[in-house]
Every structure is written in structure tokens, then in C-alpha cells.
Amino acid sequence: MEFILYGNRESGHSYKARLMLTLTQTPHEYRPIDIELPRDRRPAEFQQVSRYGEVPVLLDRGQAYVQSNAILLHLAQRTMKFYGRDAVDHDQVREWLFWEANRIGISVPNLRFCLRWIPDTKPEVLDWLRARALADLDRMNSEFGERKFLLGEIPTVADISCCGYLFWADQADIDLSAWPHVQRWLGDISALPGWKHPYDLMS
Ligand SMILES: N[C@@H](CCC(=O)N[C@@H](CS)C(=O)NCC(=O)O)C(=O)O
């Protein structure tokens, strides 16, 4: 198989990569990794290719790619799908991927992680994460007043990246009805042919 994806069902970063493979109808093998195991007890084949010890990892003809947004960019370039129309779009896609990695791809996942798995998280940490998440959702909501997707009328990997954890917003104790444009955008993404919810795609 040309493409092999290592991921985990609770990992939105893994979901982002598999959603791209699925939406582009790219044949691939999915190999789930138990990330509750200590890193040195995970399968040797995974340890060998996971530079930072994390999921997701994509193998493309044996070459390993790590970091979900780098994987998305690689797949966009390989398939020339979900990449926008021209060089200006490609630059904007890259900007959004960097934004996601520093903003909504940090705030919402970590808020969810602390609420679900770290019961003794200090309230001030939760407050900080929540404030960041709300600011990030405000930012995204303001994008969609005039545009269907982040770059306009066509979806790109920028959307695939930014939406990843938002299908689990409830697990981060976030009620998305406060951001109606974000809700509409998520609805449009979930209407794309082949879309599946994280738990249906990653199990
Ligand atoms: N910046 C990385 C984050 C990857 C990440 O945080 N992976 C988590 C799951 S969502 C993981 O592998 N955790 C287990 C570990 O670190 O051992 C990306 O975008 O791929």
C-alpha cells in the first residue's frame, strides 16, 4: 500500500490526516496506535517512523511524514486536491495551517484533554485554555460571515485542519451555538462526500 497512516481514535490531529485521505479517496491502510502505552512500548515499526513519538504519522512510499499540518500539506501537494486554485491560495493555505498549529489546534484540544483526562487540572489553566479557545472561535466566526470556507467557495486543507477538533467541541465544554457561522461551516464540511465523524472514521 502506497499510503499508511498511524493514528488514534481520540486524536483529532490523526483525524485531520485521515479525513483528508478519505475526502480525496486516497487508498490507504490505517494502523491504530495505543497512545496510552508508554512510548517505548508502542510497536517498533511505529517507534522507528515517529520522529517526535506522536501520532499521526503518514508513510508515503516508505517515507515518513509527521505533524498533522505538514501531512495535510504534503497530501494536498501530492493529490492537488483541497489545495486551492493558485499560488496565492497555496500561500494562504499555509498561513492557516500555521495559525491552526498555534491557536485552535492548541486551545480546543488541550481544553478537551484536561477536562476529559486530567481531573486535577488547575482552574487557572482551564480558564487560560478556555479564553484562548473562545477567542479562536470568535476569530473563525468572523471569517465565515462572507465566505463559505476559509479561502472562499472551495474547501481546502485549511478547513480540514481547523475543523478537526471542533466535532468534539462538546467534550471541551463548548456550545458552538454561540458561533453560528462556525456551526454553518462545520455543517458544510460534514456535507462533503465521504465525510465521517471522528469516532466513525478512526475506530
Ligand atoms: N503537533 C502535532 C501534535 C500531535 C499530538 O499531540 N499527538 C498526540 C495525540 S493528539 C499524541 O501522539 N500523544 C501521545 C504522545 O505524545 O505520546 C501534530 O499536529 O501532529
How far is the C-alpha of 4 from the C-alpha of 169, rounded, in Å? 28
What pLDDT was estimated at residue 187? 98
What pLDDT was estimated at residue 170? 98
Q: Do domains 3-80+197-201 and 87-190 have the same CATH topology?
A: no
Cβ of 67 less than 6 Å from ligand 1? yes
Nine cell digits for residue 144 = 465565515
CA 56–ligand 1 middle distance (angstroms): 7
Q: What is the pTM of this model?
A: 0.98
Whether the predicted pLDDT of 28 surpasses 80: yes
How far is the C-alpha of 186 from the C-alpha of 31, rounded, in Å? 27
Reported as a single tens digit per residue, the pLDDT across 169-184 is: 999 999 999 999 999 9
What pLDDT was estimated at residue 3? 98
CA 122–ligand 1 middle distance (angstroms): 22
Q: Where are the domains of the chain?
A: 3-80+197-201, 87-190
Reported as a single tens digit per residue, the pLDDT across 52-106 is: 999 999 999 999 999 999 999 999 999 999 999 999 999 999 999 999 999 999 9
Whether the predicted pLDDT of 145 surpasses 90: no
* pLDDT, averaged across the chain: 97
For residues 1 and 61, the model is more confident at 61
How far is the C-alpha of 62 from the C-alpha of 74, rounded, in Å? 14
CA 52–ligand 1 middle distance (angstroms): 8
Cβ of 68 less than 6 Å from ligand 1? yes
Written out in words, the top-level CATH class of the domain with range 87-190 is mainly alpha
Helix (H, G, I), strand (E, B) or coil at 78: helix
CA 66–ligand 1 middle distance (angstroms): 10
Cα angle for residues 11, 12, 17 (degrees, 5° grid): 105
**Candidate from 33, 40, 55 with most ligand 1 atoms within 8 A of CB, to mutate:** 55
How far is the C-alpha of 153 from the C-alpha of 122, rounded, in Å? 42
CA 145–ligand 1 middle distance (angstroms): 32
Chain-centroid distance of CA 25 in Å reads 18
Cβ of 53 less than 6 Å from ligand 1? yes
Reported as a single tens digit per residue, the pLDDT across 150-164 is: 999 999 999 999 999
Whether the predicted pLDDT of 1 surpasses 80: no
- Residue 105 CA: nearest ligand 1 atom is 19
Reported as a single tens digit per residue, the pLDDT across 96-135 is: 999 999 999 999 999 999 999 999 999 999 999 999 999 9
Pick the CATH number of 3-80+197-201 from 3.40.50.1580, 3.40.30.10, 3.20.20.105, 3.40.50.300: 3.40.30.10
**Candidate from 5, 9, 10, 13 with most ligand 1 atoms within 8 A of CB, to mutate:** 13
What pLDDT was estimated at residue 203? 81
Tell me which H or E stretch contains 9.
Answer: none
**Residue reference for cell 500500500:** 1
Reported as a single tens digit per residue, the pLDDT across 5-22 is: 999 999 999 999 999 999
CA 165–ligand 1 middle distance (angstroms): 13
